Amino acid sequence: MMKGKDGETFDFGRGERRGTGGNQIYFVCGGVRASKEEHSVISTCEFKKKMSKSPEEVHPKKAFGWAARDTSGVLSPFKFSRRETGAEDVAFKVLYCGICHSDVHAYKNDWGISMYPLLPGHEIIGEVTEVGSKVTKFKVGDKVGVGCLVGSCHACDNCKNDLESYCPKLIFTYNGIYHDGTVTYGGYSNFMVANEHFVLSVPEGLPLDAAAPLLCAGITVFSPLKFYGLTEPCTRVGVVGLGGLGHLAVKFAKALGAKVTVISTTPAKEKEAIEHLGADAFIVSNNPQQMLAAMGTMDGIIDTVSAVHPILPLIGLLKFQGKLIMVGAPDKPLELPVLPLIFGRKIVTASCIGGIKETQEMLDFAAKHNITADIEVISMDYVNTALERLLRGDVRYRFVIDVANTLKEE
């Protein structure tokens, strides 16, 4: 056991990571951030190397997928193992897996926390092939999903309040350390095994390919809309950035009853935002007249931009007590102008994915309101090209890999 300056403990023997609040590595999505703690006794990568076993050492079931082997980030076929289906586990054949922007950061080790081989994918839709003896929620043949999380402590206040995504011991679907000490592998693979608590039921009627991105991008925007009270009728919501997260934010906010304004640097997106996505208004953020005209009109803004950008103009768009909610994650600090916050009692905040209960609620809501992601379905062998295109913003709005039909064992 090692002890950090502030009392956090690392137990190498059982492969646990313990920490509180600001001490942990956050690797969540929507815009994902690794906040490397100042107090850690060793670098996280070193720490993980020491405590991780490979699945091959402890798991009997042969699996395959595509993984990055190093920071070049090139994905290629990869054979590995998964655990047996335990009493509380659900095993499922992967049908589709969305490509999230955080996958790009992970496979290139942009945050310094990647463990190779790194097999990404946390927008996973599949069909159940086996259930453990204690599983109650699922049966063979069910359509299911797994998002960003496959484990948490089940004992902390956040877990007890269905906020597993804020558990200090949460376990990510890939590049995480599972309870048995192995590194987790994601959905760019032929099958998954997950504890049933972290498996979502895909409602009838949701197209399986276009539902995949809901499991990360969808819940990343749905959760803050609900938590920050942007669901009252006639609430005015702004959405900054029209990408994977932004286009879903528009759809969910509209379905929840808000009047939605898209705020974008690209005038050409207006037609798309209004005619296709159903936004009520569109503002070009570098057009001073348009920004001035909209000042003080918004109850909340979902900011999905992950590049460094000025937030003062966005704060200006907020009403008294309005909320600017960051779900993208710029890799450098933003400038925070305090005076306009003081004089409008405004809030600048952020939000992670939701817990499992809320993720199910989001899927059910999406099915009821016909909300799916706009996607481009690709084959597994196109994944490297897709990742490059994603870096250039060249996708409308999410790539989804047709895993079942295109992943071949090599």
Residues 227-256 that bind Zn ion (CB under 5 A): none
Establish if 173 lies at the interface with Zn ion (CB under 5 A): no
Establish if 16 lies at the interface with Zn ion (CB under 5 A): no
Q: Which of 25, 29, 256, 327 binds Zn ion (CB under 5 A)?
A: 29
Question: Which regions of 23-131 does DSSP assign to beta strands (E)?
Answer: 61-68, 75-82, 89-99, 124-131
Establish if 175 lies at the interface with Zn ion (CB under 5 A): no
Residues 46-105 that bind Zn ion (CB under 5 A): 100, 102
User: C-alpha distances in angstroms, 324 versus 115, 189, 252, 287, 331?
Assistant: 34, 37, 17, 20, 18
Residue 287 sits at the vertex; the CA angle it makes with 281 and 290, to the nearest 5 degrees, is 45
How near is the Cβ of 396 to Zn ion at its closest, in Å? 17
Establish if 317 lies at the interface with Zn ion (CB under 5 A): no
Establish if 153 lies at the interface with Zn ion (CB under 5 A): yes
**CB closer to Zn ion, 175 vs 264:** 175
Q: How far is Cα 237 from Cα 253, in angstroms, rounded to an integer?
A: 7
Alpha helices in 76-230 (DSSP H): 101-107, 157-160, 208-211, 217-227
How near is the Cβ of 148 to Zn ion at its closest, in Å? 6
- The residue range among 3-11, 84-92, 144-152, 388-396 that interacts with Zn ion, by the rule CB under 5 A, is 144-152
How near is the Cβ of 29 to Zn ion at its closest, in Å? 3
User: At which residue do the structure tokens 């402590």 appear?
Assistant: 153
Establish if 26 lies at the interface with Zn ion (CB under 5 A): no
> Binding-site residue total for Zn ion (CB under 5 A)?
9
**CB closer to Zn ion, 220 vs 360:** 220
Q: In the Cβ-directed half-sphere of 179, how many Cα atoms lie within 13 Å?
A: 10
User: C-alpha distances in angstroms, 78 versus 92, 184, 218, 408?
Assistant: 19, 14, 29, 11
**CB closer to Zn ion, 29 vs 115:** 29
Amino acid residing at 253: A
Amino acid residing at 109: N
**CB closer to Zn ion, 159 vs 248:** 159
Binding residues vs Zn ion (CB under 5 A)? 29, 100, 102, 152-153, 156, 159, 167, 216
